[in-house]
Each structure stands twice: as C-alpha cells, then as structure tokens.
Amino acid sequence: MHQEFFFNLEKILYEQNIEEKFNQFSDFYDNFKSKKIVFNHNQNSIFKENINSNLKLTHPTKIRRPKFLNSTHSLAKMIHSIAHIEFSAINLALDASYRFKNLPEQFYKDWLEVAEEEIKHFNLLNSTLKELGFKYGDFSVHDNLEAALKATQNSLNFRMGVVHRGLEAKGLDANPFVVAKLESSNHPIKNLLKEILTIILNDEIKHVKKGDYWWKFSNKEQYNFLDICNLFHQFSLAGKKLNINARLKAGFSNKECIDIAKFYT
C-alpha cells in the first residue's frame, strides 16, 4: 500500500506530540526511500500556526542569554535555545517539502534529508538537557523562525532565500561564538556539547548549500541576496560577524560575504 506524500506529510508537520511526530516521520521517510510513496501535486496545502502548545512564547528581545556558562542552569538555558532552533528547523524542512509542489523529486529528497538531520540534532541536545535535569519546554522561546515560515509561505524563492540561505546561514555565524563561550566553562558536560556543535555545524553547511541551490533554481526574478535582505528587513539574515569559511562552503561568494557584512554593520 503506497502512501500519498503531501497528505501524510501534513499530519507529521502539524503533529503536536513530539515522540509521535518523530515516529511518524521515521516510518514515512523509510517508505519514501523505499519508493512506497505517490505524489498528488493537486493536493491543497493548509497553513496554521505550528508552535508546540507546551512552549512558553516570548518576544526575541525579551530573551536573556547567559553571559557565562559555568552553572548547570545557564548551560541548560543555552542548550534549550539551540534545541528550539533545531526543532523549528525540523518544521521548516517538513514545511518546504509539504508546501511547494511540482518540483523535481530531488527537492523533496533534499528537505526530508534535512528534516531527518534536524531531528538527530534535536535529540542530541534534548538528551543532554535531560542529563542536566531539564527538558524541552522548561525555558521561554521566541517564534522568529515560525514568523519567517509564515512570511514566505507563498514563494519558494523567498522561502529558500530568507529561511535556508538567510536564517539558517545565520546559525553558521553563531556557532563559533557559542563554542568560544563554552571554552570558558568549567562544566564537565562542555566537551560533549562541543562535539554536538561540531556535528550541527557540519550538517548545517550542507543544509544551507541545499537552500542555496534551490534559491538559485527558483530565482526567476534574478534577485541578489541583498534584495532579499531588504525585502525582509524585519528578519536579520546574518550574524554580526560572518563565518566566512562556512558560508563559502555553503555556496556564498566572497563578494556576497563582503556585501552582507557591510549591509548589517
């Protein structure tokens, strides 16, 4: 019995029970890889708010990030904020696969692969949180990524540019700063966390590279990336200091990196 791609993906995307969501995805992804999926590109896509009801939402500017990471509480808070980004990224990858129709099969293969890797990242971080005596949902989170998903729901080009070439690349910029902060910690869990952050960085370079490819593929209006930054100025699409090396691996040109750095200074 073959599953229909978009109908089943919708159920996974909007499933609120995290364990159930991951189990459903695992079964679905196995079927996809085994060619037991059919595509009905006439299937309508719905859009609804998709922030887990167990999370406490707050405005991004109200979230206080710990300056030092020596205490278990401050480390847990930092891990929680990264875990939330990874969980949001799961939904972003699922949503891209679900929302955009009539694309080459490689598009769906790419974003399901990203979803699987984001689930892996979330589980690594969540198990570390549990080791520290906390769980996902114990700290406040913001819905910036969900807002970007909503703002780009009608355009593949904008979705790839804003979310995967913008906000996800911003994560590449942030990674070295988090690692540097960890270096000053004397907590015994810091080496495990550094290993997890290395895994995340290497995978995220591949994710941004996929976003780069599909942004260029869908860029019929011939926007350059600064056009996207201007059009979506409500989102800051790069970090204060760019991770040039990671961005070059992910498909940015050196000139783009110089232009982006100027744009955000």
User: pLDDT tens for residues 159-176?
Assistant: 999 999 999 999 999 999
d(CA 198, CA 218): 30
Q: Does residue 211 share a domain with residue 103? A: yes
Contacts of 191 (CB under 8 A, 6+ apart): none
Q: Domain range holding 23?
A: 1-46
Sign of CA dihedral 183, 168, 51, 127: negative
31 and 134, same domain (yes or no): no
Instruction: Indicate the pLDDT class of residue 185, thresholds 50, 70 and 90.
Output: confident
Q: How far apart are CA 170 and CA 250, in angstroms?
A: 12
Same domain, 14 and 99: no
Q: Do 23 and 70 share a domain, yes or no?
A: no
Q: Is the pLDDT of residue 63 over 70?
A: no
Does 149 lie in the same domain as 232? yes
Find out whether 93 and 114 touch, Cβ atoms under 8 Å. yes
Smallest CA-to-CA distance from 240 within 256, 262, 222, 212 is with: 262
Tally the domains of the chain. 2
Q: Of all residues in the chain, what percent carry a pLDDT higher than 70?
A: 94
Same-domain check for residues 114 and 224: yes
Average pLDDT value over all residues in the chain:
92
Q: Is residue 156 part of a domain?
A: yes
